Amino acid sequence: MWPQLDNIAETVLTRAARIKLAAFDIDGVFTDGRLWFTDDNREFKAFNVHDGLGVKLLAGAGVRIAIISARFSPMVARRATELGIELVYQDQADKLACFQRILAALKLAPEQAAYTGDDLPDLPVLKRAGLAVAVANAHPMLLPHCHHVTTLPGGGGAVREVADLILHAQGRLTDVYRRFGHG
């Protein structure tokens, strides 16, 4: 039914079935990693609407969503508000410490958390998460430390792909899609 999910390793599905928190980097994951600045120092980012719906579908299924970013951007806060993401942590030089604080606050074990990243600042969190995901265009140094690599790039639907993976592993994807008239 979903070809991108047909060849997922059983070990990845087992890990994804346990997820109660899906945490994501922003630049290079929700976006394509490019930063656009104007002459008057305004910043622009492009977000994929498919990723936004994926976040809403996960949240609707009871999975908590978190954003952990090393940078600060008002655009990230705005997009998170639009998507109803309450766990937004920007300007986080130590992403692992932030991730561990989130786990403690939610009373979750690392095995119950997924993290999706694209570059070396994400590596400590990827090594700790129960489900470590790299986007298709992630830096190659991350790949040996990830349980799964998306087929889609950051900013190009990778977040939605992660959402579909988790929902599929938890047996919820078909029901979610039926609500929209599929199947």
Q: What is the pLDDT of residues 9-41, one digit of tens each?
A: 999 999 999 999 999 999 999 999 888 888 988
Under DSSP, is residue 36 helix (H, G, I), strand (E, B) or coil?
strand
Instruction: Give the pLDDT of residue 2.
Output: 55
Report whether 130 contacts 109 (CB < 8 A).
yes
Pairing, β 36-37 against β 43-44: antiparallel
Q: Which domains does the chain have, with CATH numbers?
A: 6-176 (3.40.50.1000)
Residues pairing with 29 in the sheet: none
**Closest by CA position to 51, among listed 169, 152, 130:** 152
Beta-carbon contacts of residue 180 (< 8 Å; ≥ 6 apart): none
52-84 pLDDT, tens per residue?
999 999 999 999 999 999 999 999 999 999 999
| CA angle centred on 98, ends 94 and 99, rounded to 5° | 115
pLDDT at 1 exceeding the cut of 60: no
pTM to 2 decimals?
A: 0.94
